[in-house]
Chains A and B, each alone.
Chain A
Amino acid sequence: MTLLKRALAQLCTTAITLFGVAIVVFFVVRVVPGNPIAMMLPPGASAEDISRLEALYGLDKSILHQFVIWLGGAVQGDLGTSITTRQPVLELVLSRLPATLELSMMALVIAVAIGGVLALTGTRMRGTRVEGAIDVGNGMALSVPDFLWGLVLILAFGVLWPIFHISGRASPTLDFEFATKFYLFESVLRLRFDVWLDLVSHMFMPALALAIPLAAIIAQLLKQSLKETMHLDYVTLARTKGYGENSVILREALPNAILPTLTLVGVQFTFLIGGTVIIERLFSYEGLGNMAIDAVINRDLPLIQGIVILFALIFTAVNLVVDLSYAALNPRLRHG
């Protein structure tokens, strides 16, 4: 199968997946307990008042009828109107997506940096107490959930040594009007380093909390790959040529050992985005995850659907890119 055919097949699969997700989420949110109209009923509302509100929000029709209406709008880019904010859902979720993507990417960068350094250090110091300490640290990082790391970080760097901001994405006192919601990237392009520093100060703790478990996974996997590679003939040959241990690890072993880790990083990125839900809530970070929790609490059905569809779109897009990259790099897959 050529790469193009593979891409087309993957796109078809993606479309079917998204349609399936749309059906599941639409019906599930209407079946689980919790009715948005009951949530907003004031004291004294009569049966007529309930009917009036149900009609106003289109909830008086059958679920199938509601789905057909919603799907008709969705294919034209209209995901409905949020019940709580009365804003278009698409507009709302797209305004939050950049914040979540920036947070996830920062977490990924931190995870790769920490995981990479630990793996290289562990490999360099293999068989010593340092490697043992790294293994113990990895075990701890994996066994503690990210939200707990978040609380530890708040206590450490928010209260005891308050050098980072605890909540939000940017300081309210900071005035800036950017063209996009990708504040971190745009602040660099506009050379607004005051804004960039403020954003980083807000993002660092949530990103680190997200990154710690992933860093441990990367460290473990990369260290294992490096150790296996270090026994291969070409590495031994490099040693006999007189290369130092650092050069052997960095120049000879790492390029081959890193491939499985890169694949893992791609897959883990989707889980990282999923993990932002709790972390964004903890740090009051204005991303999609925080919005998702509010939507669920308020039973804002159109918004829940929109967020889930967007998450599904991101997951499938990332998987698509990973699959195609893997196919492009692997000749056996590329040529069928």
Chain B
Amino acid sequence: MSKLSRRGMLKLTAASLSLTALPVAGFAADIDELVIAYNVNLPSWDPTVGTSAVNPTIQGIFQSVFDLFIAQNTDLSQAPGLITDWGWNDDNTKVHMTVREGVTWHDGSAFGPEDVVWSLERAANETSGNPIQFIWSTIGNFEIDGNRITADVLRFEPTLFKWMSFLTGYVLPKAYYEKVGAEGFEAAPIGTGPYMVDKFERNAFVRLKANDAYWGGAPEFKSVTIKFVTDAAARVAEVESGNAHVTLEMPYEEYDRLNGSKLAGVAAPVSDIGMVFFNDIEVMTDPNVRKAAVMAVNKQAIVDRLLSGYGVPIDTLQAPGYSAYDASVSTPYDPDGAKALLAESGYSTDNPVRFKIQTTRGFKPKDYEIIQAIVGLWRRVGIEAEIEVYEVAKHFELRAADQLAPAAFYNWGNSIGDPTTSTGFAMFGPSPHSVWDGEDLTAMIGPLWGEADEAKRIDGWKAVDRHIAENALVLPLFQYVQPVLHAKGVTVVPHASGALLPALMTRS
């Protein structure tokens, strides 16, 4: 029996390492198959139920496979999708929708208005588990005439059609779903989207292949693999090593280090803002304290120093590009003004006003550090805030129970850019998401929910935002910028909703 010499062992080891290296090297050289290192897992393929249905980060994957009722442009405006025309009748008692013709499902079967009606009825069903059921249930009694659908308005909801480009607003295949059931659909989902599911390993990856028959045009990359890499350091390593071509949501310092050298990058504002809720309890009932807390915060300095300049300071809960954004509303940085206001209420740096501020740590980029900076700025004018760190799950629970501290940091996404889904739900007292219970604000907002005149509705929300800013009912901080790193051979088009869409990626 021959013995393995030390030299032979070394040769064998080197050969083994070379073999293991082969797939990696081949991967990096061949860009025909686009690989994306994604920051979250995909728990479920049903985009209309459960926690994943309302997780904004996952929507990019859903939108690759399924189509929204109404498509959305990269600037959040709506565009004809599976529904090409939509609207209300004159007295807002009926809605009408025209369904696109010539569309097929991924299994080759024909898409039609029955699929739209079934998807809407399923979404409106109380037992379906759709968290947005309260919106979908505002219409019913559907009728189909050719490719035109009409329905009765059961409760007028001016944002109904906007929701058709938002969470759970997806069209699912009626016949296929009824044939395979929920479990079968989970195992082999089909949609009408630009990509078809080729292979899915839960918590590992999803491999997509191009839907060449896509009504919007076949996507450029014929094969896309989305790897779920939840750790930011590992995601950066994936693109740096060439194992992946695109990744998102990395520390801004890493983005700056790699952008322009080995890789290219795109960093664009997305429909997500950082803000501090004020709860109208304890000292926050004092307008001087609230106004001083807003005036004392230098948002631009926070963006520049903590977010490396990747952020857009905001003064209302509307970011630039949202329907009710009003650049004329501003709350300038004024530490002297803040001191004066606090002095009116008997507070000073020697006798500071004290309250608690809650924040997450690591949930959003530099969240804890931002609050530390704000507390430091407050201290200079006479506000002594104690920081309490909690998990985001606790934030949700406390907010729903109206038990947040006097101040609490959070981020608020709004990928349809409508004021109802930002100011509305964040500040309307009866909403489970609001902790501000002021009756004056509730009275201002109340009539806007059902306002049918769109211009009047938007003007109304602008007035609400102005009122909120003037009375410092909340502390808006900045609009987030989403960093995306990619190989130089790929062009990535950012979407203002924050969804990373492979269908928008092309070869450079």
Contacts and interface: CB of A to CB of B under 8 A. Distances in A.
A198 interface: yes
Interface in A177-197: 197
A35 B46 contact: no
B246 to A, nearest CB: 14
Most buried by A among B35, B242, B432: B432
Contact of A298 (B43, B228, B431): B43
Contacts of A283: 231, 234
Contact of A38 (B243, B400, B425): B400
A257 interface: no
A189 B456 CA distance: 71
Interface of A: 33-36, 38-47, 49-50, 52-53, 56, 82-87, 95-96, 151, 154-155, 158-159, 162-173, 175, 197-198, 200-201, 204, 281-284, 286, 290-291, 293-294, 297-300
Complex A-B, nearest 6 residue pairs according to Cβ-Cβ distance, in ascending order: A34-B393, A43-B425, A33-B394, A38-B396, A84-B43, A201-B20
Most buried by A among B20, B167, B426: B20
B201 interface: yes
Nearest to B51: A40
10 contacts: A34-B391, A43-B421, A154-B233, A162-B25, A162-B241, A166-B237, A167-B227, A170-B201, A282-B231, A297-B393
Contacts of A299: 393
Nearest to A34: B393
A169 B400 CA distance: 39
Contact of A36 (B23, B43, B51, B432): B51
Most buried by B among A85, A87, A197, A293: A85
Most buried by A among B21, B43, B126, B182: B43
B205 A168 contact: yes
A173 B225 contact: yes
B280 to A, nearest CB: 20
Given A166-B243, A197-B19, A286-B204, A294 B41 contact: yes
B234 A33 contact: no
Contact of A40 (B54, B182, B228, B242): B54
Interface stretch (B130-138, B368-376, B481-489): B130-138
Contacts of B399: 38
A167 B203 CA distance: 11
Interface string B387-425: 000110110111110000000000000000000110011
Interface string B240-280: 11110000000000000000000000000000000000000
Contacts of A159: 237, 240-241
Nearest to A82: B43
Nearest to B236: A159
B202 interface: yes
A206 to B, nearest CB: 11
A84 B234 contact: no
A39 B393 contact: yes
Contact of B51 (A44, A83, A281): A83
B471 interface: no
Interface string B199-225: 101111101000000000000000001
A52 B167 CA distance: 19
B234 A284 contact: yes
B46 A86 contact: yes
Nearest to A282: B231
Given A42-B167, A169-B204, A53 B129 contact: yes
Contacts of A165: 23-24, 243
Contact of B241 (A44, A158, A291): A158
Contacts of B230: 281, 284, 290, 293
A200 B21 CA distance: 12
Nearest to A204: B20
Contacts of B229: 166-167, 284
B250 to A, nearest CB: 14
Contacts of B132: 42
Contacts of A87: 44, 186
Contact of A294 (B16, B203, B231, B242): B203
Nearest to A155: B237
Contacts of A154: 233-234, 237
Interface of B: 16-17, 19-21, 23-25, 27, 33, 35, 37, 41, 43-44, 46, 49-54, 126-127, 129, 131-135, 167, 182, 186, 199, 201-205, 207, 225, 227-231, 233-234, 237-238, 240-243, 390-391, 393-394, 396-400, 420-421, 424-426, 430-433
A35 B51 CA distance: 12
Contact of A35 (B44, B234, B242, B396): B396
A170 B20 CA distance: 12
B503 to A, nearest CB: 19
A56 B237 contact: no
A281 B433 CA distance: 31
Nearest to A193: B19
Contacts of A34: 391, 393-394, 396-397
Contacts of B127: 56
Contact of A168 (B204, B431, B432): B204
Contacts of B23: 165, 171, 173, 198, 201
A286 B433 contact: no
Contact of B44 (A47, A86, A151): A86
A284 B432 contact: no
B126 A52 contact: yes
Given A38-B399, A45-B431, 16 more contacts: A34-B391, A40-B50, A43-B431, A46-B432, A47-B432, A50-B400, A82-B43, A85-B202, A87-B186, A167-B227, A169-B201, A170-B204, A172-B225, A173-B207, A286-B203, A297-B393
B482 to A, nearest CB: 20
B203 A158 contact: no
Contact of A163 (B21, B44, B393): B21
Given A33-B393, A56-B127, A85-B43, A167 B37 contact: yes
A21 B134 CA distance: 39
A154 B237 CA distance: 7
Contacts of A297: 393
A246 to B, nearest CB: 15
Contact of B234 (A44, A164, A166, A173): A166
Contacts of B49: 86
B219 to A, nearest CB: 18
A292 B202 CA distance: 13
Contacts of A172: 35, 199, 201, 204-205, 207, 225, 227
Given A41-B432, A43-B433, A86-B182, A286 B202 contact: yes
A163 B20 contact: yes
Contacts of A82: 43
Nearest to B434: A43
B234 A38 contact: no
